[in-house]
Amino acid sequence: MQKILSAGLIGLIFGTGIAVSGMANPAKVLNFFDFAGTWDPSLAFVMGGALIVTAIGYFFVLKRPAPVFDKAFHLPTRKDIDTPLLAGSAVFGIGWGISGFCPGGSIPALGLGEPDAMIFVAAMVAGIVLARLARNAMASRSTTQNA
């Protein structure tokens, strides 16, 4: 129960930060990407602040033998850059640039009653489902060809 409450509290803090910083506002985000027009650099400070807080947090947290509510840390082990990583990054960037929403900002925007966020989240879920189906189909085809 403590693990669920902790995750909920952290999500609430994250969502509040996203909403207060303006990252749940697609117009503000799109202005951040509009270098030739109405460029708004304020989100660079939001992202820079987030990186600083994250770096400090990792510095202290990873000195612990384990997380508070788990037996071990679950950190990425792969360090290579492959096609799925590049394709996923491109899709993320294109979607963020077109819609003004990223997954982290779209969920708090739902709570703010942003109607476009509902469309974005539905499209995001559909994309996740399609990507998993495609990945599973490719994996099963690869397994069948190698057998």
pLDDT digit string, tens, across residues 105-145: 888 888 888 888 999 999 999 989 998 998 899 888 877 77
pLDDT of residue 32: 85
Give the integer Cα–Cα distance in Å for 68 and 5: 13
Q: What is the pTM of this model?
A: 0.71
Interval 5-26: pLDDT, tens:
998 998 899 888 888 888 888 8
Average pLDDT over residues 96-112: 85
Looking at every residue in the chain, the average pLDDT score rounds to 88
pLDDT at position 147 is 63
Full 3-state SS string of 74-134: CCCCCCCCCHHHHHHHHHHHHHHHHHCCCHHHHHHHHHCCCHHHHHHHHHHHHHHHHHHHH
Query: Can you tell me which residue has the tokens 């509009």?
Result: 34
